[in-house]
Amino acid sequence: MRINRRMADDGPMYPEIEPRTSGHLDTGDGNLVYWEECGNPAGKPVVFLHGGPGGGCSPAHRRLFDPDAYRIILFDQRGCGRSLPHASTTTDLSLNTTWHLVADMERLREALDVERWQVFGGSWGSTLALAYAETHPDRVTELVLRGIFTLRASELDWYYRGGAANVFPDLWEKFQRPIENLDGDPVELFARLLADPDPDVHGPAAVAWSTWEGATVTLHPRPELVAEFAVPEYALAFARIENHYFVNKGWLDEGQLIRDATRLADIPGVIVQGRYDMATPAVTAWDLHRAWPGSDLVLVPDAGHAYDEPGILAALLEATDRFRG
């Protein structure tokens, strides 16, 4: 009998669950990627892709899937979470790119003897999910995506070059403080500060970068979330990796992931998007849906960006339940 989500006493997700097994995948280039499995070992494989880049997985992410039906696989992407080495100011990020992560997913799939899997990703995780699925469509059973982000110039301009300042002028001012006396592109300026070995330089820059996101991803303010984003060790890895990806435009051609959505023609999927998502505005989800006719788009009318906002969470659980077989 499948577990009823209503058995969980702290919300609509499935009850808390612990990993059955875990380990570190040796990528062969000095990185050890943490992974874990929970749920039914004979169930339908699903891989969860966290956001950021640089965010890492949490125990709550396991609870998005029916543990009786799914073989649930989570991993922390290079440089973050429990993967090694952790991104510090001395960590070389040259081997941390979108295509390294796509290759890591294939290594992990093969190491765990998975033929095909469902791919679930939100925010940056949707970027990685699309990059993977468009490269290896024969390995993907379904896509469940949330808060669509494809690293187009217009998306980065909106969030990091002043567009969102029109909605959050007070928070934008805090974000800008480390670079307020510097001239140049904000993303490039933060890259310079984050690479500085002096903690008095890279520390405040990392917290400013990270808390800008923590403060703007929900429809209603959540101070406890901002506090999590402000933890120095987390903020430094998150900011360094994320900024590194954005400076390099994700190693993607402009508009590549929307352009190549035709490769998803045989993959069913659900796109869940908050109407008032300020981090990844709904136009990108709309553009992806138009380019991928096999997708279903759920526009949540009273939500921002975070996966655990009530309407978004309900739609994600409905999607994973729908595809569990």
- Report the candidate in 135, 123, 127 with the shortest Cα–Cα distance to residue 216: 123
Tokens representing residue 283 in the block: 């136009």
How many whole angstroms separate alpha carbon 283 and alpha carbon 149?
10
Catalytic residue among 50, 66, 123, 244: 123
Catalytic entry in 50, 61, 289, 305 = 305
Q: Which residue type does 94 have?
A: S
- Residue 201 φ/ψ, nearest 5 degrees: -100, -55
305 is catalytic: yes
Sheet holding 44-49, edge to edge: 21-26, 32-39, 70-75, 44-49, 117-122, 140-146, 269-274, 295-300
Q: Establish whether 277 is a catalytic residue.
A: yes
**Residue 290 falls in which region: left (phi positive, over 0), alpha (psi -120 to 50) or beta:** alpha
Start-to-end Cα distance in the chain: 14
Strands (E), 197-301: 269-274, 295-300
Q: Which of 61, 277, 289, 295 is catalytic?
A: 277
**Integer Cα distance of 101 and 152 in angstroms:** 19
Two structure tokens written together for 191: 């890259």
295 is catalytic: no
Residues tagged active-site: 123, 277, 305
